[in-house]
Amino acid sequence: MQIITAGRTGPNRDLRFGGDLSLDDAGRRTVNDLRRTVSDMGRTVSGPEAVALETSALLSGQFDVDDALRTMDFGEWAGKLPEEIDPSALGLWFSTPDACPHGGETVADFVARIHDWRASATFGVCVVSMPVAQALLVDDAAGYFAIEVRPATSYQL
C-alpha cells in the first residue's frame, strides 16, 4: 500500500494540534511537485479532512473518502500550539499512549482504529493527514512518536 501524506497547511508550519484547514500555497506547490513523481495512483482512498481531500484532488481527481481515516481527535487541544498547553499534560500525552489529558482520543485508541482499517484495506493508495500516516506506519502505539512523516510525501507500507 502506498501512503501519501497530505500537503502542508498553516498548522503544519506552526505545529498546531488538529483542525481542518486547507492547503496553503506552499502545500499546493509541493503536492503538484509530488504528482509528477507518483506513478499510477490506482484505486485511491482519502481521509475526510479538507487537506486530504484537496491533496487527493490535485493528485488523482478520482478517489473515495473513508471517514475511518479521520485524524486523531485532539479534544480541547484542537487548534492549539504546544506552548499553549500545560507542559505536564503535554509530557504525559507524549510519554503514555493511554493518556488522554485533552479529552479526545488516546494515541493507543487512535493507532488501534487506524490499524483496524489497515487490516481490512483494499485500496492501493491512501491520502491521509500526517497523524494518520504515522499511525499506519508504526507497529504499535508505543512507536507512534518515534516516526516522523513529512507533508506531501509518499511512503510504502
- pLDDT digit string, tens, across residues 38-47: 877 777 899 9
pLDDT at 13: 59
pLDDT at 97: 97
Give 72's DSSP letter: P
Count CA atoms within 13 Å of residue 137 on its CB side.
22
Q: Does the pLDDT at position 14 exceed 90? A: no
d(CA 145, CA 134): 8
pLDDT at 141: 97
8 A C-beta contact, residue 25 and residue 151: no
Q: What domains can be seen in the chain, in order of their start residue?
A: 2-156 (3.40.50.1240)
Helix axes 130-137, 107-120, angle to 10 degrees: 70
Q: What confidence category does residue 12 fall into, taking pLDDT thresholds of 50, 70 and 90? A: low
69-98 core/surface letters (b: 16 or more CB in 10 A; e: else): bbbbbbeebbebeeeebeeeebeebeeebe
Query: What is the average pLDDT score of the chain?
Result: 91
Say if pTM beats, i.e. exceeds, 0.85: yes
d(CA 80, CA 49): 17
d(CA 88, CA 140): 24
Q: Render pLDDT for 45-67 as a digit per residue (tens, 0 to 9).
A: 999 999 999 999 999 878 999 99
Q: From residue 151, how far is each of 18, 22, 95, 109, 156 by CA, in Å? A: 14, 13, 24, 23, 15
Q: Grid coordinates in use for 11?
A: 498548522
